[in-house]
Structure 1
Amino acid sequence: MDFSTLKNLKTSEFEDAADGYRAVSHMASSAKDALEQRINVKLRESLSGEAAEAALTQLRALSQDFHYTQVECGVISTALNALAADLQAAKKKLDAAVADAEGEKFTVEKNGSVTYPAAGDEYQGKTPPGGTANGVTDETAKALNRQAANFDPNPHFARAQAYADRITAALEEATTADEKWAPKLRSLKADDDLTVSAADWVDAKKDTGGVSDGAKRYLDSIKEPPQHGAPEDNAEWWKHLSADERDAYISLHPASIGAMNGLPADARDEANRTVLAETRGQYEVKLAALTKAEPPEFESIGARGDMKYSQKWLDWHHEKERLEGKLKGMRAIQDRFDRTGHRGLPEAYLLGFDPDGEGNGRVILANGNPDTAHHTAIYVPGTKSDISIIGEDDGDTPSDLKRSENLWKQSSRLAPGQRISTITWLDYDAPDDIFTEATQDKFAKKGAPILHEFLEGNRSAHQYATGSHGHTTVMGHSYGSTLIGDTAKTASWNETPIPADDVMVAGSPGMQAAHAADLGIDPKHMWAMGGDWSDWLVREGGRNAGLGGDRTVPTDVGFGGNIMKSDAEGHGAFWNEGSLSLRNQAAVTTGNYDLVEHE
């Protein structure tokens, strides 16, 4: 970049352009939300049939268009702000050097060189002449210039050379910024069709990575998030960021923001939806390429030419099944977004997402905003929980996502006029086998601090949004209750209670304690229910495996909690719509303890 360009540069023009793109991003976000939360809802309420479904399909595609626009414009806005920050730093150095030079009555030429007047002691009746210093950045050249200045009779030469060097350094810094950002900005463009494809989302993630790599100076100007911060620290950090700074972090670090406990649900949701869309695009592209490259299924062995499955095909098949399973889980999450308004369902908030996280994948999905809810229930699933089946019903038994939905509907009926949020929390490595892994405590022990931090984050975010704590129930199914037991035990060892008002378990094989009080849980706020003979087998298996202290499970009278009536016909049937089990859970969730039917 030449001297005149940098001297006359107005970085505010880049910042104004960034504001424009940010405004477009916000408008696209608002349009997406309007489609998902209002227009689609009204359409579902007023119309039905093939035409209505076709219209909903088109509206969902339009919503994806707006989401893509929101993400890309957010990245462009941040890139422009980062470019302005880099150029502004160089321009400040240039302006300072020019001001210092002109303060000594030196002349800064159009090429950035510095002309100085005659000065110094006369020699043979003449004053040492002036001259022009040309800046250099090479250290060897600088040393030679310093040596020359020591022998030059004109004292202005050394100072003029220093100003020229500063000007040249500023110009090189600006040139480096320009060369860094020019290709990055040119790459921030979509293809020329009107369809947001999987490849487009892969490209969006690539764009984000490129901008993030170049935006170090800009991000350094923003206060960094706490390193390994507690949820309260995270909430405090977020509170003191400006709207533009929050947007920048969501644009460039969506996965980090989406996983940060204590942040507002709407911020985590926005970040995680971006991660979901980009990850789904990556997986779809990978699956399409893999499907086209199927190796031979069999290979011959031995002299007789016997056949066996080839190892290449087995590896290929395993990877294909893995990708298909993860994509099935991602589609289930998107399906929940698309069903907002269906049968009264509230907006959904994706509070955590990583298809490969914690072994089985990481999904935290809320029905309704937990930050402003009067009552929040966090449901922790048990053995075999996996992102691949998180939206898959098992016969008459609802999926993990549907269980939270059913609880939301029943709780909303019991507490009309009050805000309800129910959350499916799969953020731990659940056991994969009921007979071996599910009899061990190690999965619960590892997941306990993760759940505890989420509960703390839920409380901090609610405090941040409303100034008070809402009523929170943490509930576990099967091995999920063992995890809650370890979570409560960890909290009590630190002389703090588990961050929940009520603890509720269903089909529990044991909570690592003989009594509720041993976990620091008030027995009046400990609730348990069991099911029929198949559920009895799970409870007794856990008792015999030692998951309950002194062979005690929560549905035993000796455990000390409230034992609720249940009509569940099966280990996973506690959330069936219209069931007594679900009504009892909803009564606890909404704090209507007098409506609970006890054994």
Structure 2
Amino acid sequence: MDYSTLKSLEPSEFEDAAGGYRTLGDMASQAKDDIEQQVTAGMRKSLKGDAVDEAVRKLQKLAANFHYTQVECALITTALNSLAYELRAAKNKLDVAVEDAAAAQFTVDSDGSVSYPPAGDKVDGKVPEGGTVKGSARESTGNPIDPAGDAKDTANALERQASNLDDNPNHGRALAIANRIAQAVHQATRADEKWAPELRKLKADDDLDVAAEDWADAKRDMGGVRRGANVYLDAIKAPFKDSNPEENATWWKGLSKNEQDALLALDPAGIGKRDGLPAAVRDEANRTVLAETRAKLSLKLDELDKKEPANSQQKWERVITAQNLKGIDAIQRRFERTGEDGLPEAYLLGFSPEGRGRAIVANGNPDDADHIAVYTPGTESSLANSDGDINRGVNLWKTSQHLTDQKVSTVTWIGYDAPQKLFPNATQDNYADGAVDAYGQFIDGLNAANKSGSDAHITAIAHSYGTTVIGAAAEDGDLGVDDIVFAGSPGARVDNAADLDVSKGHVWNEHAKGDDRVNGFGRFFHGGGVSAVDPTDPIFGANQMATDTEGHSGYWDYDDDKNAPSLSIKNQGWVIVGDYGKVELKPRDDGSLLPVDWREPGNWDI
């Protein structure tokens, strides 16, 4: 790029182009949402059968095309905005230099050189003549024999000394301006040279099938644009290093649309896990991470399958890779069920394949909900085994939403590394301790993002070892929920319901017939004896809800054919919607239903 090109350059033209791509990306995003939330949802709502399943699969492929288009357009938008940002900085530097030249009555020629008039004290009876100087950017070339740049510094010093020795004082001023012009042109040239190849890379295959290779390419594109946009990203106000969900929410609202789009395009993993941000934002970010992760794992699985005979390490890698893909498929199946029996759209509030994996899936937007239930599973829960736990969240929504005219959102929170074996893992507290911060941040994030704030009614529902997580979180500080429901609890790590950080009368417990997994063994060993009181014991002080299911895993049974919930899950539903008087309680041996003082004034805050 030369002086004349930069002088006539309008960075806004690149921003206008970025705006066009953003509009195209928004259209693709809307088309994707229409397919998933209206077209396929409408089909699921009124039709059933293999033909519908096949039609939905084809529509999902089309939605994947629009999703891929959205992601690539966002990268192009950010790349163009970054280019415009860097060019504008160079152009502003040039314009200021040219203005300074005009103020000094110098002339800037078409090649960027600066002409200056005669000036100074007479020498041999003549005023020193004017002249023309050509500037230099004088940037370090990274010469290995001059790593400290000392030679450049010396050259600059010698140039200044030579300028000062000139009889015409305008010489030094003109040279300084010419150098600034050269630096501006060099800065613009470097921006152009950096972004031209990156923008050329942002193209897709000409077929309609978004394959794993396409998403892998999108991931590489993201990395390239992110490296190039470091200057642009540095200008975006970053959140505090240890910001809490409320601070995250305030930070996000304070960003411009371009800044938000840039962060979503270049750091979806970071945005997707930031508690306090809107559910729609986290969902968009996490779905990109999900698609790119699925592509990476699929390609890895194909590569491992080609290695025969595989060694033990490769066999283990294949098992883990296949298991994570199984979990991703479970999340995708939930997306495809939107509309089924009125099921609302799903929001992916958290996802990661690291460790045992993370999968946080909401049914309905929790930001708009009056009632939110967060279900925390226990032993053996993981990304790979998420299908059943995601379905429990679905059943909770179907049950509770039919009990109220207000909006309900239910969340499956697989946000911690749960113990994978009953013994000895589930008898240890370290898994629960490791979940405390993540659980607390998530609940605080729901309150921060919800439009009614802390007025939203939140119920913590936990199964098996998940009840230990809730107990540990309550011990650690403000739990941030209004009601707690335990199901199949081996012990909540506290001795009394009063220690669970909710109002009196708002701790509920279910223990089904035949749930022997937590009888004796679990409670005896659990927590190294930290919890001596069984949640079913009257001394614990929980409201014992009636159940009609059997065993350790039936608390969320729902008869889809009859569209009828079990009593076990229906009682949970009444708690979720805050209609406590309709909860059916379990009689005790003496015929009593509740703690003696449960219904006394002031003890049951609804």
Residues 448, 454 of structure 2: 8 Å contact kept: no
Q: Take 1:523 and 1:537, find their aligned partners in 2: how far apart are those partners?
A: 28
Residues 516, 551 of structure 2: 8 Å contact kept: no
1:492-511 Cα deviation digits (max 9, x unpaired): xxxxx410000111000111
1:348-378 Cα deviation digits (max 9, x unpaired): 000000011xx21011000011111111100
Q: Take 2:468 and 2:43, find their aligned partners in 1: how far apart are those partners?
A: 43
Q: 2:146 — aligned with what?
A: none
* Structure 2 counterpart of 1:542, from 488, 509, 522: 522
SS in 1 for 2:455: coil
Q: Take 1:98 and 1:42, find their aligned partners in 2: how far apart are those partners?
A: 62
Q: 2:438 — aligned with what?
A: 450
Change (3 A) 1:511 1:49: closer
Q: 1:177 — aligned with what?
A: 191
Q: 2:470 — aligned with what?
A: 484
1:522 equivalent to 2:522? Answer no
Query: Could you tell me how far 1:43 is from its partner in structure 2?
Result: 2.2
Q: 1:370 — aligned with what?
A: 366
Q: Which shifted more, 537-546 or 223-232? A: 537-546
Query: What is the number of equivalent residue pairs in this alignment?
Result: 565
Residues 482, 502 of structure 2: 8 Å contact kept: no
Q: Which shifted more, 508-517 or 221-230? A: 221-230
Change (3 A) 1:8 1:293: same
The code of the aligned residue for 1:32 comes to: K
1:582 equivalent to 2:569? Answer yes
SS in 1 for 2:505: helix
1:126 equivalent to 2:112? Answer no
> How do 1:259-278 and structure 2 match up within 5 A?
259-278=273-292
Change (3 A) 1:130 1:255: same
Q: 1:95 — aligned with what?
A: 95
The code of the aligned residue for 2:583 comes to: V
1:400 equivalent to 2:414? Answer no
TM-score w.r.t. length of structure 2: 0.91
Residues 19, 77 of structure 1: 8 Å contact kept: yes
The code of the aligned residue for 1:128 comes to: P
Query: Could you tell me how far 1:517 is from its partner in structure 2?
Result: 1.1
Q: 2:459 — aligned with what?
A: 473
Change (3 A) 1:234 1:594: same
Q: 1:395 — aligned with what?
A: none
Query: Could you tell me how far 1:389 is from its partner in structure 2?
Result: 1.4
SS in 2 for 1:450: helix
Query: Could you tell me how far 1:231 is from its partner in structure 2?
Result: 0.5
Q: Which shifted more, 517-526 or 448-457? A: 517-526
The code of the aligned residue for 2:497 comes to: A
Residues 41, 342 of structure 1: 8 Å contact kept: yes
Query: Could you tell me how far 1:32 is from its partner in structure 2?
Result: 0.5
Q: 2:382 — aligned with what?
A: 386
1:384-437 Cα deviation digits (max 9, x unpaired): 11111111xxxxxxx10111101110101111x221111000111100110101
TM-score w.r.t. length of structure 1: 0.92
Residues 414, 590 of structure 1: 8 Å contact kept: yes
Residues 517, 552 of structure 2: 8 Å contact kept: no
Query: Could you tell me how far 1:50 is from its partner in structure 2?
Result: 4.4
Query: Could you tell me how far 1:141 is from its partner in structure 2?
Result: 3.5
Q: Take 1:435 and 1:48, find their aligned partners in 2: how far apart are those partners?
A: 43
1:313-366 Cα deviation digits (max 9, x unpaired): 22111111111110010011011101100121110000000011xx21011000
Residues 482, 503 of structure 2: 8 Å contact kept: no
Q: 1:414 — aligned with what?
A: 403
The code of the aligned residue for 2:509 comes to: A
Q: 2:582 — aligned with what?
A: 595
Query: Could you tell me how far 1:126 is from its partner in structure 2?
Result: 1.7
1:205-231 Cα deviation digits (max 9, x unpaired): 111111111112222222112211011
The code of the aligned residue for 2:375 comes to: Y
Q: Take 2:487 and 2:493, find their aligned partners in 1: how far apart are those partners?
A: 15
Q: 2:213 — aligned with what?
A: 199
SS in 2 for 1:324: helix
Change (3 A) 1:550 1:439: closer
1:45-94 Cα deviation digits (max 9, x unpaired): 34444443332222111100000011110111011000000111011101
Structure 1 residue runs of 5 or longer lacking an equivalent are 296-311, 392-398, 492-496
1:567 equivalent to 2:548? Answer yes
SS in 2 for 1:551: coil
Query: Could you tell me how far 1:558 is from its partner in structure 2?
Result: 0.7
Q: 1:307 — aligned with what?
A: none
Structure 2 residue runs of 5 or longer lacking an equivalent are 139-151, 559-564, 587-606
Q: Take 2:238 and 2:422, find their aligned partners in 1: how far apart are those partners?
A: 43
Q: 1:308 — aligned with what?
A: none
Identity of aligned residues (%): 52
The code of the aligned residue for 1:248 comes to: A
Q: 2:448 — aligned with what?
A: 460
Q: Take 1:517 and 1:372, find their aligned partners in 2: how far apart are those partners?
A: 30
The code of the aligned residue for 2:52 comes to: A
Q: 1:111 — aligned with what?
A: 111
Residues 254, 272 of structure 1: 8 Å contact kept: yes
> How do 1:124-523 and structure 2 match up within 5 A?
124-138=124-138, 139=152, 140-295=154-309, 313-356=311-354, 359-391=355-387, 399-415=388-404, 417-462=405-450, 465-466=451-452, 469-491=455-477, 497-523=478-504
SS in 2 for 1:532: coil
Change (3 A) 1:318 1:147: same
Q: Take 2:408 and 2:500, find their aligned partners in 1: how far apart are those partners?
A: 27
Residues 493, 531 of structure 2: 8 Å contact kept: no
The code of the aligned residue for 1:484 comes to: I
1:135-183 Cα deviation digits (max 9, x unpaired): 1233344323212112111110000010011111111111111111111
